[in-house]
Structure 1
Amino acid sequence: MNNVIFGIDVSSRDSSVCEFVGQAKNEFKITNDTPGFTQLLKELQLFAKKPQIIFESTGVYSRRLQAFLDDYDYQYVIMNPLTAKKEMNQGLRYNKTDKNDACHLAMIQLQNHHPFFKKEAEAYHKMQSLDRSYDELTHDIVSAKNRLHRILQLTFPEIETLFNIARGENYWQIVKLYPHCQIVRNLNKDNIINDLLKIKSIGQKRAQKMADKLIDLANKAYPAASQDSPETSDAVYYADRLLQLTADRNERLEKMIFLAQTLKTDDLEILVSIPGFAKTTAVRVLAELGNIRRFKNPNKIDAFIGIDPGRYQSGQIDSHLGISKHGNAIARKVLYRAIGQIAQAAQFSPCHIAEYYAKKKSSQTKGFKKIAIASVHKLVRTIYALIINNQLYDYEVAKQNQRRKS
C-alpha cells in the first residue's frame, strides 16, 4: 500500500486519472466539478494510508483540483509542465493521450519521488493573485498609452510636450480637459487656470505657467481631425481609461502591501532595504516567490524563475544553452527589471550588485542580457541570504562577504 499513486492529467472540463496500486493500474475520468471531485474522493478514501497524488500545473484549471485536495488535507506533487514533459520523454512516453499522460505522471512519481508541495499561508496565494492582476493592468496601461499617443497625433500632438518628465495622472486629466487644440483656443487664460486648479497637486503658480504653455502649444498645432471628430472623443475615453486603470493597479498594490505586512516575517522590510528596491518591487517579489524560506538553496529559486542554465545532450554532444526560461516568468521579469533600478539607485546608495553589473558592462565581453541575468543570479543569492538570516541589507557586510568568496 506504500506505493499507491494517483496521476492526474488536468484539462479544462475534465481530468484523466491513473491509479497505481503496486503493479495494478486503474484508469478513469472525472469532471472538474463537485460530482467529479466527489468521485475522486471516494477512490482516495479506499486506502487506509493516503495515496501520493501528482499532477501538472495548468494554471486556473489545476487550481480547482488543488483547492479540493487542500480542503480534504491530501498531500500532492505539482509538476512544472516542461519538467514533466522532459521526464516523460526519458523512456516513458510512446503515445500522446490524456490517459497515457496520467499514467506517466504516476510513473514519474514512482521513479523519482518528487517532494510534496508545501502549502503556504493564504496571504501568499492572495498576493500572487493580486500581482497577476497588477501585471495584466500594467499591460493594459501600456496598450492604452500607445492608443492615446496615436490619437493625439491627429488632434493635439503638441500637448505631449507639456510635461518634461514621465507623463502620468495629471497629464491624463489635462488631456481629458483639452483633447483637441481648438478647445484651448476657444478659452481665455483665466478659464484654463481655473480648470487646472481643480486638478490635485497643481497650485496657482504652476497653473499659470501651464496655461501659458497650453495656449502656446495649441496655437502651434495643426490638427488632422476636427474638434467634433470621433478621435477627440476617443482621446477623452483613453485618458479616462488610463486614470481608471492606474487607480485599479494602485489598489491592488496597496492590498499586496497590506497582506505582506500581515505575514509573521520581516521579509518586506528586508527586501526594501536593498538599494533600488521600492515597496512595489519588494512586494511583487514576495507575491511571486512566496515564502522564500521554503527553498533549500538559491539554485532552487533560479530554477523556479527559469534562470537556471539549460543543457542539450545528444550522442557525443553535451553543451550548455542559455537560461531554461522554465517556471515563473513574471518573477523573472520583476527581478530582471530590478537590476536596472539597483544600477540607478547606486548613484546615491552603493550596492555590490550594482558594482558587479557595472564591472561586467564595462568589460563588454558579454551581451547586455547575459550581464543582466548574471546580476539576477547575484541578486537571488543576496535575497536568499538576507531572508534566511533575517538581516537587512548592509553594503559593507556584502562587500566583506564578496572578498571572502573571491
Structure 2
Amino acid sequence: MTVVFGIDVSKDTSAIAENVDRVLVWQSKINNNWFGFQELLKRLQEYSEPQIVFEATGVYSKRLSRFLEENGYRYTMLNPLAAKKQLDGLRTRKTDKNDAVNLADTQFIFERRLTYYQKPVYRDLMDLSRFYEQINSDLVTEKNRLHKSLQMTFPELEGILDKPSGKLYWHIVATMPHPDLLNNMTVEELATQLKESGAHISVTRATIIAKKLFTLGQASFPGSVVEAPDVDETRYHSEQVARLDTKKTEIIAKMVKLAKPLPEFEVLMSIPGFAEKTVVRLIGELGDIRRFGSSNKLNAFVGIDLRHYESGNFIATDHISKRGDHIARAILFRAIANIVSAGRYQPSRVNDYYREHKKKLPKVNGKAVGTKKVTVAAMGRLLRTIYHLVTNNEMFKYDV
C-alpha cells in the first residue's frame, strides 16, 4: 500500500490531499499552527511510511518542514520551478485544493527523491548569513545617506582620515557633524575626546587628527547652519552606520562559533585565501555539501552552470544560468580575488588557472578584457575543489 500526502502550503493555511494507492481518501484545510499540525499528525500516524510532498514556499513552508522533522517524518520539498513544470498539464483549474490533489497524484508518476535532511546548525548558519546580507544592504544605504547629509553640514570631514570609514571616522562625524561645533573647543580637548572613542589610537595621533580637524573646520563653509535639521540627520546616520557595522561583526562571530565544530570548517580554512568570514558564509549559503551528488549539481545550485543554445547555423555564446544562489556567487567571486592575492605565498591550482587564462585575454588600452569570464570559470574550479575536499574530508594540498 502506497500512501501519499500532497500539501499545498500558503501563508496561514495548508490544503491537504491524502491519496492511498491512487485513490483520494481524505481532504482538508488546516491552519499553519500547532493545532493544525496536530490534526495532520493524527492522519500521518495511521500509516507506517507515508510519503509527503509539498512545494517550497519560502518562509511559509518552513513551519511545516520543522514540524515534520521534529516528528521524524521524511518529506519531498519541491523546487517551485520543478513543481510548476510537473503540474502545469494537470491544472485545468488552479486552486489550493486542486494543487494538493495534483501533488499527491503526480507522486505516483515521478520518482521524486526525499529532501536531504540537514542538521539544524546548517539552517541556523543560513539564517545568519541572510541576516548578515540584510544588515550589509542596510549599511550601504545608510552610508549613502550619511554622505548626502554630510555634504550639507561638513563636506571636508570626509578627508579627515585616509578613507571615510571605520569606528574612529564615524565617531568624529557623530560628535562633530558641523564645523561651528569646534568654536568652543581646544585641540587638547578634542584630542582627549578622540582618545575616548574606543578606536585605540595614541595621544600623538589623536592630536594630529584634532589639529587637522580644526584646519578643515576653518576652511569649511557648509550649506546648513549648525541649528539646521541636517546636522541632526548627519549625526543620526553616522550612529546608524556604526551600529550596523558592529552588528555585522557580531553575526560573523556567532557564525564562527556555530561552524567550528563542523568537519568542513577546518577543511575550508585550509584553502589559500580563505578566512573565517568567507568560510562561515559559504557554509551558510551552501549548507551540507555532501547532499549534492556531484560537483556539477553544486555548480547548478550556485547558478554558474552553463546554458547552451543553438538553432540551425546559429550557435549562441554560452552563459551561466544565474538561477542559483546569487549570494553564494558573490561570495565565491570575492573568494577568487582573495585566492589570487594570496597566490604569491600560498599557491593553488585555482590561482594557476586564473593567471594562465588571464594572460591569454585580449587587451584594450593596456587592460585585459574578459576577466569576469575567467573569474567565473575559476569559481567552477574552486567549487569542484571544495566538493572534493569536503566529501572526502581532506585538507587542501597544492596537488588537488
TM-score by length of 1: 0.88
Instruction: Say whether 1:388 aligns with 2:386.
Output: no
AA aligned opposite 1:36: G
Alpha-carbon deviations, 1:227-257, whole Å to 9, x = none? 1111111111111111211222211111110
Aligned residues: 392
Comparing 338-347 with 15-24, greater Cα deviation is found at 338-347
Query: Relative to structure 1, is the Cα distance of residues 194 and 358 closer, same or farther in structure 2, using a 3 angstrom cutoff?
Result: same
Instruction: Say whether 1:351 aligns with 2:354.
Output: no
Deviation at 1:88, TM superposition (A): 3.1
SS in 2 for 1:111: coil
Query: Relative to structure 1, is the Cα distance of residues 359 and 280 closer, same or farther in structure 2, using a 3 angstrom cutoff?
Result: same
1:272 maps to what in 2? 269
Deviation at 1:100, TM superposition (A): 3.2
Structure 2 unaligned spans of 5+: 363-368
Q: Distance in 2 between matches of 1:274 and 1:183?
A: 50
**Where do residues 95-110 of structure 1 align in structure 2 (5 Å cutoff)?**
95-110=93-108
Query: Relative to structure 1, is the Cα distance of residues 268 and 218 closer, same or farther in structure 2, using a 3 angstrom cutoff?
Result: same
Structure 1 unaligned spans of 5+: 399-406
AA aligned opposite 1:214: L
Comparing 221-230 with 76-85, greater Cα deviation is found at 76-85
Q: Distance in 1 between matches of 2:310 and 2:91?
A: 18
Query: Relative to structure 1, is the Cα distance of residues 98 and 144 closer, same or farther in structure 2, using a 3 angstrom cutoff?
Result: same
1:213 maps to what in 2? 212
Query: Relative to structure 1, is the Cα distance of residues 108 and 288 closer, same or farther in structure 2, using a 3 angstrom cutoff?
Result: farther
1:234 maps to what in 2? 233
**Where do residues 3-402 of structure 1 align in structure 2 (5 Å cutoff)?**
4-25=3-24, 26-47=26-47, 49-89=48-88, 91-165=89-163, 167-200=165-198, 201-263=200-262, 265=263, 267-310=264-307, 322-364=319-361, 367-395=370-398, 397-398=399-400
Query: Relative to structure 1, is the Cα distance of residues 61 and 33 closer, same or farther in structure 2, using a 3 angstrom cutoff?
Result: same
Query: Relative to structure 1, is the Cα distance of residues 279 and 166 closer, same or farther in structure 2, using a 3 angstrom cutoff?
Result: farther
Q: Distance in 2 between matches of 1:66 and 1:317?
A: 46
Q: Over aligned residues, Cα RMSD in angstroms?
A: 2.5
Comparing 60-69 with 314-323, greater Cα deviation is found at 314-323
Q: Say whether the 8 Å CA contact 1:386–1:393 is kept in structure 2.
A: yes
Q: Say whether the 8 Å CA contact 1:185–1:215 is kept in structure 2.
A: no
AA aligned opposite 2:8: D
Query: Relative to structure 1, is the Cα distance of residues 20 and 288 closer, same or farther in structure 2, using a 3 angstrom cutoff?
Result: same
AA aligned opposite 1:120: Q
AA aligned opposite 1:192: L
Deviation at 1:321, TM superposition (A): 6.0
Q: Say whether the 8 Å CA contact 1:55–1:77 is kept in structure 2.
A: yes
Q: Distance in 2 between matches of 1:124 and 1:143?
A: 29
Alpha-carbon deviations, 1:292-346, whole Å to 9, x = none? 2222221121122222234679999997863333343322322222222223333
AA aligned opposite 2:249: N
Query: Relative to structure 1, is the Cα distance of residues 368 and 98 closer, same or farther in structure 2, using a 3 angstrom cutoff?
Result: farther
SS in 2 for 1:249: helix
SS in 1 for 2:19: strand
Q: Say whether the 8 Å CA contact 1:9–1:101 is kept in structure 2.
A: yes
Q: Say whether the 8 Å CA contact 1:185–1:219 is kept in structure 2.
A: no
Q: Say whether the 8 Å CA contact 1:309–1:320 is kept in structure 2.
A: no
Query: Relative to structure 1, is the Cα distance of residues 223 and 192 closer, same or farther in structure 2, using a 3 angstrom cutoff?
Result: same
AA aligned opposite 2:343: A
Q: Distance in 1 between matches of 2:360 and 2:30?
A: 58
Alpha-carbon deviations, 1:48-72, whole Å to 9, x = none? x221111122221111001111121
Deviation at 1:43, TM superposition (A): 2.2
Query: Relative to structure 1, is the Cα distance of residues 34 and 391 closer, same or farther in structure 2, using a 3 angstrom cutoff?
Result: same
Q: Distance in 2 between matches of 1:211 and 1:362?
A: 48
AA aligned opposite 2:185: L
Q: Distance in 2 between matches of 1:132 and 1:389?
A: 28
Q: Distance in 2 between matches of 1:210 and 1:273?
A: 40
Q: Say whether the 8 Å CA contact 2:22–2:105 is kept in structure 1.
A: no
Query: Relative to structure 1, is the Cα distance of residues 217 and 203 closer, same or farther in structure 2, using a 3 angstrom cutoff?
Result: same
Query: Relative to structure 1, is the Cα distance of residues 119 and 316 closer, same or farther in structure 2, using a 3 angstrom cutoff?
Result: farther
Query: Relative to structure 1, is the Cα distance of residues 85 and 310 closer, same or farther in structure 2, using a 3 angstrom cutoff?
Result: farther
Deviation at 1:349, TM superposition (A): 3.0
Q: Distance in 2 between matches of 1:69 and 1:389?
A: 30
Query: Relative to structure 1, is the Cα distance of residues 95 and 362 closer, same or farther in structure 2, using a 3 angstrom cutoff?
Result: farther
Alpha-carbon deviations, 1:178-211, whole Å to 9, x = none? 1112223442211211111112311112112211
Query: Relative to structure 1, is the Cα distance of residues 92 and 314 closer, same or farther in structure 2, using a 3 angstrom cutoff?
Result: farther
Comparing 80-89 with 121-130, greater Cα deviation is found at 80-89
AA aligned opposite 1:81: P
Query: Relative to structure 1, is the Cα distance of residues 226 and 257 closer, same or farther in structure 2, using a 3 angstrom cutoff?
Result: same
